Amino acid sequence: MRNEGLGSWPARRARKTPHRTALIHDGVRYSYAALHERATRLAHALHARGVRRGDRVAYVSPNHPSYLETLFAAGLLGAVFVPLNTRLSTPELAYQLTDSGACALLHEAGRAELPDGPGVRLRLPVGGTEYEDALAAAPADVLDEPVGPDDLCLIMYTSGTTGRPKGAMLTHGNITWNAVNVLVDEDLTTDEVALVNAPLFHTAGLNMLTLPVLLKGGACVLVGSFHPTRTLELIERHRVTVMFGVPTMFELLTREAGWATADLTSLRLLTCGGAPVPTRLISAYQDRGLTFLQGYGMTEASPGTLFLDAEHALSKAGSAGVPHFFSDVRVVRPDLSQAEPGETGEVVVRGPHVMPGYWGLPEESAAAFTEGWLHTGDAARVDTDGYVTIVDRLKDMIVSGGENIYPAEVEDALLAHPDVAECAVIGVPDATWGEVGRAVVVPREGSAVSRETLLPFLTGRLAKYKIPKSVVVATELPRTASGKLRKPEVRRLYGPRP
């Protein structure tokens, strides 16, 4: 095959295990042969409608087989897949469609309110008769465009500290090497049954679970959204062996009435990431004979960077582990010299899974790297055994239920309110989500603000998970002599009280 990218994966797997189940969705099973045929037909359908090499194909819908069919179809054409977060507001979606220059938008049926980017000339609803008719009318002739490891595969947006999301460019090689890292470090087998209820528009659900399982030849049970009761039922019904989740998802499972009696005997691997895993949560699963495999990563690294295996889950509890097999990680001082064991420094990463840069942002791309090392903006310490513990977020990012929230973006939206003079957004602990936003607001002179007036103002401007859960009114915010906001002081003054 001339295609060495992700688009060739269904064909390569179909020639080895055509009759094995690849996907399960709403009781329907799709074999690898069927996945190959459907992706090929969709590629022909998109090509007939004007999609060409290098074009961006956007997709917004809950987990569904059409997500993977679109990803592979774009890869067959040498086009670029752009998955969009279903939880974003209309203005946020419009920005990403415009920024990526998408020419096509495949979307959940019934979402007529979705915006068009200026270049979108094709809209196709998925999961309905129009989509199925388009596939049925397209040929299934073999497509074998030359696609190499360095060709761009997808653009995945990640919130930026400047308030605007940035599109991380991930190549076919980046994603393939990440999948290889997962296969090496997690020992996935061809008999895996993966429960995919983490959203595929996030890098972990796609790249740390779904694609590695499909590469190995296992089956993926696709679920549109996470629900704890249904999750326990699906694990038993499909004899699920592996699943990924953020700590909040695993926490909600333990609160279910059926948790103590649920049949979890089929589970072999539980991978958890997106936020620190509380010790009490680790213990709750160990009481059921289950152990978490924890990790640390970022969209820009496809995302796997550090991994803590089951053998060290207890002895190194709280650690994010050691670098994945084909990943190099250092904890460094500001001058890039190696930090000593126990000394706090910044995490930098290098490897074949690390992005080449951000879409359309050459200056930001250059600033993200030093001598080939990607700056993560996260602070950490390394112990004498080489295990890395993440200790702080240099970028002030808030992690709420596995979703990344950057205060600058929320602050920008708050400042659009006519009664807000100044504001700062900080993270505060939350029993369910791990962390949520709190807005500290200084009202304009002669005005009054409150939670009841501010939060509804943000509805429709920001995704729901980005909207702060509490508001504190202040007379002023602490700043340096140069006028820079002193975020540590804001946290001390307005964060949670003992």
In terms of Cα–Cα distance, which of 3, 81, 60, 67 is closest to 38?
Answer: 67
- CA 231/CA 254 separation, integer angstroms: 11
| Count of beta carbons in the 10 Å neighbourhood of residue 2 | 9
Look at 57 and 161; give whichever has higher pLDDT: 57
E-assigned strand segments in 303-344: 304-308, 322-323, 328-332
Please give the share of the chain, as a percent, with pLDDT higher than 90: 77
User: pLDDT digit string (tens) for 409-443?
Assistant: 888 889 889 999 889 999 999 999 999 999 999 99
Tokens of 168: 């991380």
Q: Which residues pair with 330 in a beta bridge?
A: 348
Q: What are the backbone angles phi and psi of residue 123, rounded to the nearest 5°?
A: -125, 130
pLDDT band at 391 (very low <50, low <70, confident <90, very high): confident
- CA 474/CA 421 separation, integer angstroms: 11
User: pLDDT digit string (tens) for 315-356?
Assistant: 888 789 999 999 999 999 999 999 999 998 999 999 999 999
By three-state DSSP, how is residue 246 classified? coil
Tracing tokens 């030849």 back to the chain, one arrives at 217
Tokens of 258: 């059926």
pLDDT band at 163 (very low <50, low <70, confident <90, very high): low
In terms of Cα–Cα distance, which of 191, 266, 251, 227 is closest to 432?
Answer: 251
Tracing tokens 């019904």 back to the chain, one arrives at 237
Tell me which H or E stretch contains 491: helix 487-494
What's the topology of domain 6-379? Rossmann fold (3.40.50)
pLDDT at 162 over 50: no
pLDDT at 255 over 50: yes
Whether 6-379 shares its CATH topology with 398-494 is answered no
Per-residue confidence (pLDDT) for residue 159, from 0 to 100: 64
Please give the share of the chain, as a percent, with pLDDT higher than 70: 97
Q: What's the average model confidence in pLDDT over 206-230?
A: 97
Within 13 Å of residue 383, how many CA atoms lie on the same side as its CB? 14
Q: What residue spans define the domains of the chain?
A: 6-379, 398-494
Max distance between CA atoms of the chain, in angstroms, equals 72
Q: What are the backbone angles phi and psi of residue 348, rounded to the nearest 5°?
A: -125, 150
E-assigned strand segments in 212-365: 219-222, 242-245, 269-272, 292-297, 304-308, 322-323, 328-332, 345-350, 357-358
Per-residue confidence (pLDDT) for residue 480, from 0 to 100: 60
pLDDT at 223 over 90: yes
Tell me which H or E stretch contains 407: helix 407-414
- CA 57/CA 54 separation, integer angstroms: 9
**Model confidence, pTM:** 0.87
Per-residue confidence (pLDDT) for residue 392, from 0 to 100: 65
User: pLDDT digit string (tens) for 287-318?
Assistant: 999 988 889 999 999 999 999 988 888 888 87
Superfamily assignment of 398-494 in CATH?
ANL, C-terminal domain (3.30.300.30)
